[in-house]
Every structure is written in C-alpha cells, then in structure tokens.
A and B are shown apart, each in its own frame.
Chain A
Amino acid sequence: MTLEWIGDALLLLVVLPVVVYLLRGVLNAANSIVPSAHQIAAAATAGSKDLDATALLLTTQDQVKTTIEVAADYGGSLDVILDDAN
C-alpha cells in the first residue's frame, strides 16, 4: 500500500510536471515558428509579384536590339558623311 502511495506521489509530483514542461516547450517552439513562416510566405509572395515585370525584359531586349541597329545605321551614315579626325 505504501508503494502505491509513493507511486501516486511520483505521478503527481514528478511525471505530470515533467510531461507538462516538455509539452509546453514543444508547443511554444511550434508557436514561435508560425509568425516566421507567415513572414516567409509573405516575402515569397511579394518577391514573386515583384518579378511580374520580368516579362517586360523581353520587350526591353527587342528595344535594345532595335536601338543598337538604328545607332549602327546612323553611325555608318555619319562615318560616310564626316571626315575622319586624322
């Protein structure tokens, strides 16, 4: 009978607090991750949205190519029209 009371005391005074302590630590750690995960998700979404303009790079690429072609044509004409310095 005495051993049973000792076991009850151990359960209530040792095991239960230890279980509660450990599980509370796990819960606190999980809860602390939630805001960080939200921030990561928000940042990734914003970053993806910022990159929506990358499609315009294709237009820029074409425009740059056209501009350089025009500049080359203009430079060729100037090369014919103007005398060289030397």
Chain B
Amino acid sequence: MPAAGVVMIIAVLLIVLAVVYYLVSTIVALQRITKSLDDAITGVVGIIEKSAPVDDVVTSINTNLDAGVTLLEGLLVKKAGLSDAVGLVEGLYPGAAAEGFRDIPDSTQTNAPRISEVYTKGTLTLARLGREAPIAAASPNGPALRNAAYGSTAARALYPEVRQSRPNAMPRSPVIGTDSPVQYEPSESPGVRKRMPVPVAVGAQAEPTPSPETGGVVKSGLAFLRRLKSDDQ
C-alpha cells in the first residue's frame, strides 16, 4: 500500500473519531435537556391544572365582596348620612375620604367632618349606634346627648352608671377644722371615738361641744343613744 493511502486512511479515521466524539457528547447533552424539559412540562402542566379553577373562584369571591361593600356602604350612608359617613371612614382610614364610596360618586365631593380630631378611634368604632352617640351632635333630627362645640361632661353618661350622679348620690367629703359643723373630740385611744359624728346640714348650727362641766363624755354618750333611739323610731 502506498504511503499516501495509509495517510488518507489515518486522516479519515481521525475525522470519524472526531465526529463520533462530538456527536456522542451532543447526544448526551440533548438527553439531559430532554429530561429537564420533561420536568418543566410536568411542572407547567401542574400549574395549568391547579390554576384552572382560580378564575371562577376569584370572580365569585370578588362578586360576594362587591355585594358586601355595597351593603355596608349603603347601610352606613343610610344611617349616618353621607357627610358623617365619609367623616367616619376618614377618621378610621385616613385618606379614604378622597377616594369616597365606590357606589356613591358624589361622596368624593363631600366636605367630611374632622371626626377623628375630636373623638378617639374607639369612640368612632362605636359611633353612629344611635342618636345617643356623641358624634350624633350634628344630626339634624333632634338634640344630641353631647354638644359637640361646648359639651365636656355629657359624654360621661355614655358609660355605665357608677359615678355619673356622684354629687347627688354620694355623701359629701367631711369638713374639718375648728369651725367645722361636726366637731370631732380628741380620742383617748387611737381609732376609738367618744361619740359618733352626726351629719349637720350646711348652714345649720353645730351641736355645741359638751364641756366637762356639763356632763362630758357621759352626757354626749346619752345624747348619742337618744338620737339612735329616735332614728329607730
């Protein structure tokens, strides 16, 4: 065989080896790609299957929420009036008045009262539960419990009856001093009084303090028993 033929055979073998090497490597890479794409397709199919009912469900949820918003906004405006309703919502959610109510386009033009600057959020939460609520002062349908401009103590009546009528129902604090209507005698032993104090109306003459010359402790004790007896009768 001539040398040129041997060289040609070697050259062809080299070419074939190179082709085989690179093609096998390419096949391996493509197989890895195919496997990855299979995984991707599985994931995408899962996404499609899982997201298929989302549209209907979200549409249903939005429909129900829209109905709820319409209901609550309508009820609030009906009961509180548009102006107070906008002010109330603005007080709870600052900036909401600018957006107004969704179903009431005119609400964006309402000059909302600055309720949140006068009442706390807790009061606002309980507000508009009736014309007795302090916020109802601006209600045009009748007098409100609280005068929004000048009232300061009327809101006390909103809370349970404990001390609202304190000046009338509770005893007054004792008056002390040398010229007080009830004179307390010095006690010989701590915590023990020689006689119980008797409330005396303001302006009335105080009972004269018994002196040792006019009977002292014995006479004041008898007077106390007499008063006690007359009280029982």
Contact = CB atoms under 8 A, between A and B. Distances in A.
Contacts of B128: 82
19 contacts: A12-B14, A15-B11, A27-B29, A30-B30, A34-B36, A41-B37, A44-B40, A45-B42, A48-B47, A51-B46, A52-B50, A54-B54, A58-B57, A68-B68, A71-B71, A79-B79, A82-B130, A83-B141, A85-B78
| Residue of A7, A8, A60 contacting most chain B CB atoms (<10 Å) | A8
B11 A82 contact: no
Interface string B64-101: 11011001100101111100100000000000000000
A44 B2 contact: no
Interface of A: 1, 4-5, 7-8, 11-12, 15-16, 19-20, 23-24, 26-27, 30-31, 33-34, 37-38, 40-41, 43-48, 51-52, 54-55, 57-58, 60-61, 64-65, 67-68, 71-72, 75, 78-79, 82-86
Contacts of A86: 81, 141
A37 B22 contact: no
A19 B19 contact: yes
Nearest to A82: B79
B76 to A, nearest CB: 9
Nearest to B85: A85
B53 interface: yes
Contacts of A71: 68, 71-72
B129 interface: yes
Nearest to A85: B81
Q: Which 3 A-B pairs have the closest CB atoms?
A: A44-B43, A23-B22, A37-B36
Interface residues of B, number: 58
Contacts of B37: 37, 40-41
A34 B33 contact: yes
Given A4-B8, A48-B46, A60-B61, 15 more contacts: A8-B7, A11-B11, A15-B15, A34-B32, A37-B32, A38-B36, A41-B36, A41-B39, A44-B42, A60-B57, A61-B61, A68-B67, A68-B68, A71-B71, A84-B78
